Amino acid sequence: MRPSKKDELVRKALDVFYRHGFHASGMDLVAKETGVSKTAIYNHFRTKDDLILAVIKLRDEEFRAWMVSRIETYGETPEERLLAVFDAHAEWFAQKGFFGCLFVKACAEFQDPAHPVHQQSCAHQAQGIAYYHSLAVAAGFADPDEIARTIWFLAQGAIVAAVMAAIDNPAASARVAAAKMLACAERRSV
């Protein structure tokens, strides 16, 4: 089925906001780069924030599905998948047009925790932690909350390092740290 004009607009706006930022991308720039007039944009979205929320939702759905798929490709067991998080991140970092995490950027630009963009971006991160938690439970770790948080922290650090080009292959470094942590982590007694 062919995407609707509204869907095409959201997809093109995602690229604009990801490359330029939310506040730096005025509606004139969005209109110019998407090829959709401001009038047409406002026919679909009452406000710029409504468009941003649609962009965040699209990125969340697509990115989460892609990331889980890649993790499941790289790892067979739950423990392997906890480490495969970093293999998937390495693949993402190598993609042309990698500009970091859209959700972290959104939280940085919309710092009020009550703002819907901030909340929706945090919800994406919470879903990632919940996925890591489910893997940690399935792998039999005694403290799956700690495992999930640590994997998340390491992944976020790798993203920042990749954006900043602070170190070579930050995903591999994060994977090594995660492997050491998992090797020392207690298991549930059966």
Decide if 163 is inside a domain.
yes
Decide if 26 is inside a domain.
no
Distance in angstroms (rounded) separating the CA atoms of residues 99 and 186:
36
Going by C-beta distance under 8 Å and a sequence separation of 6 or more, which residues neighbour residue 36? 5, 9, 12, 30
Total of domains in the chain: 1
pLDDT in tens, 36-94: 999 999 999 999 999 999 999 999 999 999 999 999 999 999 999 999 999 999 999 99
Task: State percent of the chain over pLDDT 90.
Answer: 94
Confidence of residue 166 (pLDDT cuts 50, 70, 90): confident
Decide if 131 is inside a domain.
yes
Whose tokens are 């879903």? That residue is 127
147-166: average pLDDT = 96
Confidence of residue 189 (pLDDT cuts 50, 70, 90): confident
Residue type, 60: D
Q: Average pLDDT over the chain, rounded to whole? A: 95
DSSP letter string over the chain?
-PPPHHHHHHHHHHHHHHHH-TTTS-HHHHHHHHT--HHHHHHH-SSHHHHHHHHHHHHHHHHHHHHHHHHHHH-SSHHHHHHHHHHHHHHHHHSTT----HHHHHHHHS--TTSHHHHHHHHHHHHHHHHHHHHHHHTTBS-HHHHHHHHHHHHHHHHHHHHHT-SS-HHHHHHHHHHHHHHHS-B---
105-131: average pLDDT = 97
Decide if 28 is inside a domain.
no
CATH number, position 102: 1.10.357.10
State the residue range of the domain holding 76: 54-184
Decide if 36 is inside a domain.
no
Decide if 34 is inside a domain.
no
pTM of the predicted structure, to 2 decimals: 0.92
Task: State percent of the chain over pLDDT 70.
Answer: 98
Residue 190 has pLDDT above 80, yes or no: no
- Residue 75 region by backbone torsions, left for phi larger than 0, else alpha for psi between -120 and 50, else beta: beta
Decide if 164 is inside a domain.
yes
pLDDT in tens, 24-35: 999 999 999 999
The pLDDT, as a whole number, for residue 4 is 86
The pLDDT, as a whole number, for residue 1 is 57
Decide if 190 is inside a domain.
no
